[in-house]
């Protein structure tokens, strides 16, 4: 351990509440703590130079679920559980917009679409039932069949297109940068390069041990998503899931705008200022991709390239500009876990691949859980 001065100890190493994880959830938790209790000393610890998991490593979808995904949520959570989850995702997106400003996160609502490859798919027949379940919340039909757009978009192998007129896209780099700036303005300290190795609860405080430094807090909020089991040394229903995203530069102007999903949301793409962001394919190797190690699975990449050439940009040339991976967290259901770990420690984790939407709300909920006690 490094030796620190009295001034450093008082001003940097001690806090009323420490948040572990500087992704969307962690920064949103810190912001909520200061908004509701400005007198608190709040510190955020992040193990990387930038958020480590998926907060800035995704494709920037401002979505709350395609029809096939919501049907799966009904199976796992029941109709009420699915609707509750959609409400949280929607409210989380609105929270980010209200707190930071829509222009600051470059949110654009261009509609979202689900590609259906089976001409007789049952998913198409379920559009009405999903709209019915969501009607009380949205006061409008969310989904409709838009098959007439398939040809103009230039998609191959696609028999049906389900449109969601409420779905949008945003810039998650700008989202985190804006959240970081906002937190600094209201008095939150953020320390990067501080990988938390151990959290030890004592009689009147919590000790947080990093490689070269030790922090002390009255309470701790753990917002580490896929990395939570390792940190808390628990067997929670939280499994990592690695996802690949590629930035594609087409040689011709894209024929479509918006966000797109297929195969129950396992594949997704969107336009980004003339480029194409495309990712997914985790379902091809679920066991292999249940990892916290970053890296490209070549089998998945090959499938993405094949789909790019046969479904999304058939008979068009392109260049792969960049590729990267992010680490998400999943469980038996997509419902997040927001609960107390002990008297002084709470967690908000397992975003189910929907962290962009639900992260700000989960952060708010874990902050309120800590403040309530």
Check residue 373 and give its pLDDT: 73
Q: Which of helix, strand or coil describes residue 214?
A: strand
Q: Which domains are assigned to the chain? A: 6-57+173-236+333-372 (3.50.50.60), 70-80+103-167+238-330 (3.30.9.10)
Segment 314-360, tens digit of pLDDT: 999 999 999 999 999 999 999 999 999 999 999 999 999 999 999 99
Q: What is the pLDDT of residue 23?
A: 98
Q: Which two tokens stand for residue 8?
A: 């450093």
Residue 278 pLDDT greater than 90, yes or no = yes
pLDDT at 143 over 90: yes
3-state DSSP assignment of residue 188: coil
Nearest to 8 by CA among 227, 221, 277, 189: 189
pTM for the model stands at: 0.97
pLDDT digits (tens, 9 = 90+) for 15-68: 999 999 999 999 999 999 999 999 999 999 999 999 999 999 999 999 999 999
What does pLDDT average to over the chain? 97
Average pLDDT, integer, range 71-84? 97
pLDDT at 192: 97
Contacts of 316 (CB under 8 A, 6+ apart): 154, 250, 251, 252
> What gap in Å lies between CA 188 and CA 39, rounded to an integer?
11
pLDDT in tens, 148-196: 999 999 999 999 999 999 999 999 999 999 999 999 999 999 999 999 9
User: Which of the four pLDDT bands, split at 50, 70 and 90, describes residue 263?
Assistant: very high
Q: Which of 269, 273, 254, 257 is nearest to 314 (CA)?
A: 254
């Amino acid at each position: 351990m490094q030796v620190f001065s009295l001034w450093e100890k008082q001003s940097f190493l001690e806090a009323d509440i420490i948040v572990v994880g500087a992704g969307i959830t962690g920064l949103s938790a810190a912001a909520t703590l200061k908004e509701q209790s400005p007198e608190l000393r709040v510190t955020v610890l992040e193990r990387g130079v930038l958020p480590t998991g998926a907060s800035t490593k995704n494709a920037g979808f401002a979505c709350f679920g395609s029809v096939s995904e919501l049907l799966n949520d009904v199976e796992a959570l029941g109709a009420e559980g699915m609707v509750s989850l959609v409400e949280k995702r929607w409210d989380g997106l609105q929270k980010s917009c209200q707190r930071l400003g829509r222009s600051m996160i470059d949110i654009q609502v261009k509609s979202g679409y689900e590609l259906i490859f089976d001409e007789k798919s049952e998913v198409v027949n379920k559009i009405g039932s999903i709209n019915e379940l969501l009607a009380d919340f949205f006061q409008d039909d969310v989904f409709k069949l838009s098959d007439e757009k398939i040809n103009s978009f230039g998609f191959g192998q696609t028999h049906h297109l389900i449109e969601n007129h409420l779905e949008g896209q945003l810039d998650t780099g700008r989202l985190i940068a804006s959240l970081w700036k906002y937190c600094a303005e209201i008095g939150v300290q953020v320390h990067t390069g501080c990988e938390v190795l151990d959290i030890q609860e004592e009689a009147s405080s919590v000790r947080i041990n990093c490689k070269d430094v030790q922090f002390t807090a009255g309470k701790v909020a753990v917002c580490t998503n896929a990395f939570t089991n390792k940190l808390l040394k628990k067997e929670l229903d939280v499994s990592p899931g690695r996802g690949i995203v590629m930035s594609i530069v087409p040689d011709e102007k894209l024929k479509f705008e918006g966000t797109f999903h297929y195969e129950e949301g396992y594949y997704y793409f969107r336009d980004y200022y003339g480029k194409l962001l495309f990712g997914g394919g985790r379902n091809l190797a679920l066991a292999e991709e249940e990892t916290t190690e970053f890296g490209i699975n070549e089998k998945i990449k090959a499938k993405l390239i094949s789909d790019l050439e046969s479904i999304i940009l058939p008979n068009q040339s392109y260049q792969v500009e960049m590729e990267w991976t992010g680490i998400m967290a999943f469980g038996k259901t997509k419902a997040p876990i927001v609960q107390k770990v002990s008297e002084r420690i709470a967690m908000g984790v397992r975003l189910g691949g929907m962290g962009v939407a639900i992260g700000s709300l989960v952060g708010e909920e874990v902050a309120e859980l800590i403040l309530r006690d």
